[in-house]
Amino acid sequence: MTSPEIKKQLLDVMFKIRMAEEKIVEVYAKEQQMRTPTHLSIGQEAIAAALSLAMLPEDQIFVGHRCHAAYLARGGDFQGFFDELCGKKSGICQGRAGSAHLTDPSVGIYSSPILSAMIPVAVGAAMSFKMDASRKVAVAVFGDAAIEEGAFAESVNFAVTNKLPVLFVCENNLYSTHTPLPIRQPPSKIYERFSIPEMQTQQIDGNDASLVYETFKKAIEHVRSLKGPLFIECLTYRTREHVGPLYDYDRGYRTKEEVEEWMKRCPISLLTAKLIKENVLNASQAESMKQQWKSKADEAYASALKAPWPDVATLEEHVY
Amino acid sequence: MCIKVVPVMTLMVMIMNRQISYAQAISEALVQGMESNPNVFLFGLGVNDCKGVFGTTIEATKRFGDSRVFDVPASENALTGIAIGAALNGKHPILVHARHDFMFLALDQMINNAAKWKYTYAGKTSIGLTVRAIIGKGWGQGPTHSQNLQAILAHFPGTIVAVPSNAYDVKGIMLEALNQKNPVVIIEHRSLYDLKMTVPQEPYRLAFGRARISRQGKDVTVVATSSMVPEALRAAYILSEFGIELEVIDPVTIQPLDEEAILTSVQKTGRLICADGDWLNCSFASEVVARVADKAFHDLKAPIKRIGWPECPAPVSKVLEDAFHPTHKNIIAAVLEILDKRQISIPDVEIKDTFVGPY
């Protein structure tokens, strides 16, 4: 069972992500200061939050384009996040990376948006951990479309063959941009399709934060003890458009009813209700947790607007 | 019992003039690089099998064993990403593609990740990764076993691309690559593997971006890469008999490119031929020509010539294959054309192809 303390931390991390992204929603279209394609994780926060608490600081996490949640959960620099989205010199990657490449080596998070691009990199990190007997773990987080690219199959094959300490986490949010799963993959469930004797797979409700945490905790222990990679499919849903801050009911690829059905299963609302019911905290405590992150996000965005631009003379720096 | 005493001086000369092949030079560089840095490991399909990548990895396998020289599945793209993940954690992987053409499968990781890594993440981490890729020629290697990806790899900023043409250079370039925190692709040409040269035993490094003036001459500059360097030297040797002196410039690395060496030579000769083992459209040869046209246009006394592959894939049949690959004869013809000396009749020098395949 997840301890009340961990549950509170899960909620706190999810609020951190949600309020940072709600800030993006608030200003992105209106103020036009974040000139970078943003893939919001609103509705999917439980997975990143749970991973961040289940992993050790020396572990590493590798993410695709929808990387805000993992970056913030993992403890990537908060001000550096807003500065990066605004293209400022003080951005975590000095304004070269933007929203889809959020990377902070000091906390072991790396991201790149070619869907499956970071999966083999995670496997390579895991290989080096095994070579060095360092007992570290690499986690690869990717969407349901990444498994359609060859690098995924190649990576799983290599990791399983060499029993590498890597955890594969698939965030199945049912759509690749506007293309639904049934057009892209056969009807069998993803976790069933990749289950082989050498790699256990499972499917969980990715919006139940404490369940996700418990699952990851066990999985990471298994992986750390070099028993071989595991694959966990987390069912979840992004409530906003694929890229950008809006709702997208008008685009015809999903219905408003479907989105609203998933909103009822928002991971933050679910955990808040649970914690109130369990008397771990009351509604006003939850609200103040949320407001704290809202203020931090407001401040960070305001500060990002004032931060200096990168010096154009640095344009060609760091190529080699 | 008779002990033959070798005089010290003779021994010194023997050591100093030690001749080893291109393949032996690669092998030696790998062993020395792995000896000096325990974080270097070597992987790729068949690297530790009995043939050891045409003999280049047998010694490393013997010395360092399976933990540092290991076989892998045929997953070119993921292996490149895996190398990046290991490099990120302080390793220096050497990834071997025994057939360069298979690197097409690795281009996503090579270009989207490795080449951009340092820049995108603002120089906080860089990728020390050496990729060996071997081009085939002869014995009907055909459409998908003879290609050269140098232009693609050099096009995208962030990758060092080396095309060493001799044993001395390949050893120095390999050891430099292993000491770099950059993705480096070393394109080795299989037709060079048996060519011997004086190579020092001790480790040494050659800086990237320094051309080798393989031969000095006053009449025509020939910029030649990889397997075209021996062809250019052969042409130079023959033409010298007719009082025509070629200056052969071997760039050694095409990214970075020693533009200065090329421009200086063109300033001297006023004539340029670029001979490259690749198609000419959007090619390295075109790049050299563009830079000379841009920066040394007024030094030119004659039109520039490019020598490369005809506009078709590489065929298998021996007659077609022979027609496909340019040789010293194409270079000689181009030289005579731009010197307006087509009337000179050069006797045919046939080079016996000693390669017996199948490879």
- A91 within domain boundaries: yes
Coil vs helix vs strand at B161: strand
Does residue B110 have a pLDDT over 60? yes
Does residue B135 have a pLDDT over 90? yes
Quick one: tokens of A114? 């070619």
Same domain assignment for residues B59 and B135: yes
Check residue B359 and give its pLDDT: 58
Query: CB–CB of B77 and A120 under 8 A?
Result: yes
Q: Which of A161, A122, A160, A164 is nearest to A141 (CA)?
A: A122
- Tell me whether A99 touches chain B (CB under 8 Å): no
Same domain assignment for residues B123 and B241: no
Query: CB–CB of A96 and B122 under 8 A?
Result: yes
Query: CB–CB of B124 and A105 under 8 A?
Result: yes
- B358 within domain boundaries: no
- Tell me whether A121 touches chain B (CB under 8 Å): yes
Rounded Cα–Cα distance for residues B102 and A220 (Å): 35
- Considering only CB atoms, B82 lies closest to which of A93, A158, A320, namely A158
Q: How many domains does chain A fold into?
A: 1
Same domain assignment for residues B130 and B271: no
**Domain span holding position A277:** 4-145+160-175+188-211+222-301
Chain B CB contacts of A318 below 8 Å: 118-119, 122-123
Rounded Cα–Cα distance for residues A312 and B3 (Å): 72
Rounded Cα–Cα distance for residues A155 and A168 (Å): 10
- A180 within domain boundaries: no
Q: Which of A23, A26, A31 is nearest to A68 (CA)?
A: A23
Give the global pTM. Answer: 0.95
pLDDT class of B14 with cuts at 50, 70, 90? low
Same domain assignment for residues B111 and B221: no
Query: CB–CB of B82 and A123 under 8 A?
Result: yes
Question: Residues A159, A165, A171, CA angle at the centre, nearest 5°?
Answer: 75
Query: CB–CB of B86 and A124 under 8 A?
Result: yes
Measured in angstroms, the CA of B262 and the nearest CA of chain A are apart by: 23
Chain B CB contacts of A158 below 8 Å: 72-73, 75, 78-79, 82
Point out the catalytic residue in the list B92, B97, B100, B145: B145
Instruction: Assess contact for A119 and A152: CB atoms under 8 A.
Output: yes
Query: CB–CB of B73 and A127 under 8 A?
Result: no
Outline where B17-155 has alpha helix (H). Answer: 22-36, 52-55, 58-64, 76-88, 107, 115-120, 150-155
Rounded Cα–Cα distance for residues A292 and A16 (Å): 9
Per the annotation, the verdict on B145 as an active-site residue is yes
Rounded Cα–Cα distance for residues B311 and B152 (Å): 17
Q: Which of B320, B289, B154 is nearest to B223 (CA)?
A: B289
Check residue B11 and give its pLDDT: 54
- Considering only CB atoms, B84 lies closest to which of A103, A124, A154, namely A124
Chain A CB contacts of B121 below 8 Å: 93, 96-97, 101, 103, 105, 110
User: Residue A283 CA to chain centroid, in angstroms?
Assistant: 26
Question: What is the H or E stretch that residue A60 is in?
Answer: strand A60-63
Instruction: Assess contact for B143 and B315: CB atoms under 8 A.
Output: yes
Rounded Cα–Cα distance for residues B262 and A21 (Å): 54
Point out the catalytic residue in the list B28, B59, B76, B259: B76
- A140 within domain boundaries: yes
A residues 131-160 closer than 8 Å to B (CB):
131-132, 138, 150-151, 154-155, 157-158
- B3 within domain boundaries: no
Outline where chain A has alpha helix (H). Answer: 4-31, 45-54, 68-74, 78-85, 118-131, 150-161, 181-184, 190-193, 209-224, 256-263, 267-277, 283-306
Check residue B350 and give its pLDDT: 73
- A10 within domain boundaries: yes
Segment B182-220, tens digit of pLDDT: 999 999 999 999 999 999 999 999 999 999 999 999 999
Instruction: Assess contact for A14 and A292: CB atoms under 8 A.
Output: no
Segment B146-177, tens digit of pLDDT: 999 999 999 999 999 999 999 999 999 999 99
Same domain assignment for residues B267 and B327: yes
Neighbouring C-beta atoms of residue A256, cutoff 10 Å: 11
- A17 within domain boundaries: yes
- A315 within domain boundaries: no
Residue A140 CB contacts under 8 Å (≥ 6 apart), including other chains:
A62, A118, A119, A122, A123, A155, A166, A167, A168, A169
- Mean model confidence pLDDT for chain B: 94
**Domain span holding position B154:** 12-198
Same domain assignment for residues B36 and B67: yes
Segment A36-50, tens digit of pLDDT: 999 999 999 999 999
| Phi/psi at A217 (5° precision) | -55, -50
Q: Which residue of A has its CA nearest to B92?
A: A128
Q: Where are the beta strands (DSSP E) in chain B?
A: 19-21, 40-44, 69-70, 92-97, 129-135, 160-162, 183-189, 196-198, 212-215, 220-224, 246-250, 253-255, 272-279, 305-309
- B5 within domain boundaries: no
B70 DSSP assignment: E
Same domain assignment for residues B218 and B163: no
Per the annotation, the verdict on B287 as an active-site residue is no
Chain A CB contacts of B153 below 8 Å: none
- B165 within domain boundaries: yes
Specify the CATH number for the domain of residue B237: 3.40.50.920
- A134 within domain boundaries: yes
Q: How many domains does chain B fold into?
A: 2
Chain A CB contacts of B72 below 8 Å: 158
Measured in angstroms, the CA of B17 and the nearest CA of chain A are apart by: 36
Residue B312 CB contacts under 8 Å (≥ 6 apart), including other chains:
B324
Same domain assignment for residues B143 and B228: no
* Interface mutation vs chain B, best among A118, A128, A147, A152, most B CBs within 10 Å: A128
Coil vs helix vs strand at A89: coil
Rounded Cα–Cα distance for residues A131 and B185 (Å): 24
Q: Which residue of B has its CA nearest to A99?
A: B120
Question: What is the H or E stretch that residue B236 is in?
Answer: helix B228-240
Quick one: tokens of A276? 């109130």
Same domain assignment for residues B133 and B243: no
Classify the C-alpha dihedral B161-B163-B168-B174 as positive or negative.
Answer: positive
Instruction: Assess contact for A158 and A198: CB atoms under 8 A.
Output: no
Q: Which of B110, B56, B101, B111 is nearest to B278 (CA)?
A: B101
Instruction: Assess contact for B351 and B237: CB atoms under 8 A.
Output: no
Measured in angstroms, the CA of B115 and the nearest CA of chain A are apart by: 8
Check residue A38 and give its pLDDT: 95
Query: CB–CB of A117 and B118 under 8 A?
Result: no
B109 DSSP assignment: I
Quick one: tokens of B56? 């280049």
A residues 251-270 closer than 8 Å to B (CB):
none
Does residue B26 have a pLDDT over 70? yes
Tell me the β-bridge partners of B187.
B133
Question: What is the H or E stretch that residue A141 is in?
Answer: strand A138-143
Q: Mutual orientation of helices A283-306 and A267-277 as an angle, nearest 10°? A: 140
Instruction: Assess contact for A231 and A190: CB atoms under 8 A.
Output: no
Q: Which residue of B has its CA nearest to A134?
A: B89
Contact pairs from chain A to chain B, CB under 8 Å: 129
Same domain assignment for residues B221 and B176: no
- B356 within domain boundaries: no
Tell me the β-bridge partners of B315.
none
Specify the CATH number for the domain of residue B136: 3.40.50.970
Rounded Cα–Cα distance for residues A79 and A307 (Å): 10
Tell me the β-bridge partners of A199.
A196
Coil vs helix vs strand at A106: helix
Rounded Cα–Cα distance for residues B109 and A121 (Å): 9
Check residue B138 and give its pLDDT: 82
**Following DSSP, what letter does each residue of B237-281 receive, concatenated?**
HHHHTTT--EEEEE-SEEES--HHHHHHHHHHHS-EEEEEEEEST
**Mean pLDDT, to the nearest integer, of B237-244?**
96
Measured in angstroms, the CA of A217 and the nearest CA of chain B are apart by: 23
Q: Which residue of A has its CA nearest to B74?
A: A154
Check residue B348 and give its pLDDT: 79
Same domain assignment for residues B16 and B153: yes
A199 DSSP assignment: B
Q: Which residue of A has its CA nearest to B157?
A: A319
Specify the CATH number for the domain of residue A74: 3.40.50.970
Out of B198, B220, B236, a domain closes at B198
Question: Residues B95, B96, B101, CA angle at the centre, nearest 5°?
Answer: 120
Query: CB–CB of B73 and A125 under 8 A?
Result: no
Q: Give the residue ranges of chain A where pLDDT is below 70.
A: none
Q: Which residue of A has its CA nearest to B255?
A: A320
